[in-house]
Amino acid sequence: MTIPVQNITSSEISCSTCEACCCRLEVMIISDTGVPQRHIEVDQWGGETMLRLEDGWCSALDRQTFMCTIYENRPWICREFEMGSYECREERKNMA
């Protein structure tokens, strides 16, 4: 039985069952955490974001495990996007 996303509480949310909704969002790089250059895209004004591939997924996401391949060096925004937070639940709902 599948529980509708809007009825899921933050204690029932796990990154391992999420399929990485947050890894499809645009992520600005606003501090130096050591993100490898191959995962950085620079816009026409010099702003840096995480590179997203043609399918919209972050280039640092392992598509087999849905785990971040640069977890220790992930951007500040990724560190602040808390599993089970309001924003997390909203993104899960939007992806459903």
pLDDT at 15 over 70: no
Query: Does residue 59 fall inside a structural domain?
Result: yes
Residue 4 lies in a domain: no
Dmax (CA) of the chain: 48
- Say if residue 67's pLDDT is above 70: yes
pTM > 0.85: yes or no: no
Residue 49 lies in a domain: yes
Nearest to 84 by CA among 24, 22, 5, 14: 14
| 3-state helix vs strand vs coil in the chain, percent to 5 | 35, 15, 50
Secondary structure element (H or E) that encloses residue 90, with its range = helix 86-95
Closest CA to 50 of 19, 28, 24: 28
Mean pLDDT of 4-12: 52
Q: Where does residue 31 rank: exposed (0-12), middle (13-18), buried (19+ CB within 10 A)? A: exposed
Residue 17 is predicted with a pLDDT of: 65
User: Does residue 90 sit within a domain?
Assistant: yes
Structural domain range at position 36:
14-95
pLDDT exceeds 50 at position 4: no
Instruction: Over range 63-71, report the average pLDDT.
Output: 88
In-domain check, residue 9: no
How many domains does one find in the chain? Answer: 1
Decide if 57 is inside a domain. Answer: yes
